[in-house]
Structure 1
Amino acid sequence: MTQDDVLQLFRESGALLEGHFILSSGLRSPIFLQKARVFMHPEKAEKMCRALAEQIRAAGYGDISKIVSPAVGGIIPGYETARHLGVPAIYTERVQGEFELRRGFELAQGEKVIIVEDIVSTGLSIRECVAAIRSTGADVVAAACLIDRSGGEADVGVPLVSLTQYKVPAYPADALPPELAALPAVKPGSRGLA
């Protein structure tokens, strides 16, 4: 699946938005990828996650026992990618600001897992998820995402496999280009860190 194929699925779903957006990282961007609008179409989610599972295998990370995803955004791609890899999918949730396993989810000492996320911007959610998983004694062999909007620049703390890289400009609030500063800012994401 090419970058054009992935972005076309976002366009068809009305999920590639243009304007002035406040990202969950607090950075500002003229592009927002509203993945929930793509995930509401099971056939589109299935197509992307099947391709991501193939990328994971091709990168040499197919020998794992579970997929772990950060809630909420990673749950659907984590589940669907796990289905194509033939392994269970679990997720971490924030409890008092920190990711942890809940709902009876467990990882064994030395168990090999991959983190699956929807979109990576700065890599913060994956780094926090890696820390939570490592605290159980499990081994995070890699992370994977549908879109790496950092263009390969985000440090997630483990190797990152992405279905596609789509470098999208992002700026600190106090360093906006004039054309972006002229637009009203909208915060469409779910994480309240900004």
Structure 2
Amino acid sequence: MKTQEVLDIFNQAGAILHGHFILTSGRHSAVYLQKAHVFMYAELTEKLCRALAEKIREFLAGRQEDLPDYLVGPAIGGLIPAYETARQLHLPAIWVEREQGRFRLRRFPIKQGARVLIVEDIVTTGLSVRETVEAMQEAGAKIVAAACILNRSGGKAEIGVPLISLADYAVPSYAADNLPPALAAMPAVKPGSRPASSN
């Protein structure tokens, strides 16, 4: 699936919003990808995750030692894509969730050394993936890679493991103290699922 096909699905679901948004990273942007609007529709989610599963298969080809035991999604954004991608790959899906502000693997016992592949919806700075890597390493897992539907970092996100992205869609974002005048003139909204970071 090409990037434009992914964006067409987001547009079909009304999930590409324009305005002044505060991202989870704390940065500001004139474009917000409201993936929850896509995940409302099982058929659209299935299309995206089937294509992502195929990219994961390509990445893992010939790497028998890296075949994951689980796919892991960071709550909340990664829950649905991790579940559906796991279904496409015939693997179990588990998730990490916040406990006192930090991701933890709370509900699922895993064996030491279990191989996991993290699935996220959208990567901007990579913070959620990095936090998921840390949580899973604390749980004794080996991180094979991470995957996302959309990488909007322009290749700048540092997550410490290989990143498989279905589509790359770089959208400019700005520090709060360095906004373009047109963006600064608009009221800002914070549509994400957690408070914006100060980083």
TM-score of the pair, normalised by structure 1: 0.97
Q: Offset at 1:2?
A: 0.7
**Residue of structure 1 in register with 2:29 after alignment:** 29
> What is the distance in 2 between the residues matched to 1:107 and 1:159?
22
Matching of residues 16-165 of structure 1 within 5 Å: 16-60=16-60, 63-103=67-107, 105-165=108-168
CA deviations 1:105-147 (Å, max 9, x no partner) are 1221111110000000000000000001001211001000000
> What is the distance in 2 between the residues matched to 1:164 and 1:70?
19
**Residue of structure 2 in register with 1:187 after alignment:** 190
> What is the distance in 2 between the residues matched to 1:156 and 1:69?
15
Aligned to 1:175, the other structure's residue is in SS state: coil
RMSD between aligned residues:
1.0
Corresponding residue pairs, total: 193
Aligned to 2:118, the other structure's residue is in SS state: strand
**Residue of structure 1 in register with 2:14 after alignment:** 14
* Unaligned segments of structure 1, at least 5 residues: none
Q: Offset at 1:179?
A: 1.3
* Unaligned segments of structure 2, at least 5 residues: none
| Letter in structure 2 aligned against 1:47 | K
> What is the distance in 1 between the residues matched to 2:38 and 2:196?
24
CA deviations 1:19-68 (Å, max 9, x no partner) are 11000110000100000000000000000000000001111277111001
Q: Offset at 1:156?
A: 1.1
Are 2:171 and 1:174 equivalent residues in the alignment?
Answer: no
| Letter in structure 2 aligned against 1:55 | K
| Identity score, percent | 59
Q: Offset at 1:193?
A: 3.0
> What is the distance in 1 between the residues matched to 2:135 and 2:5?
33
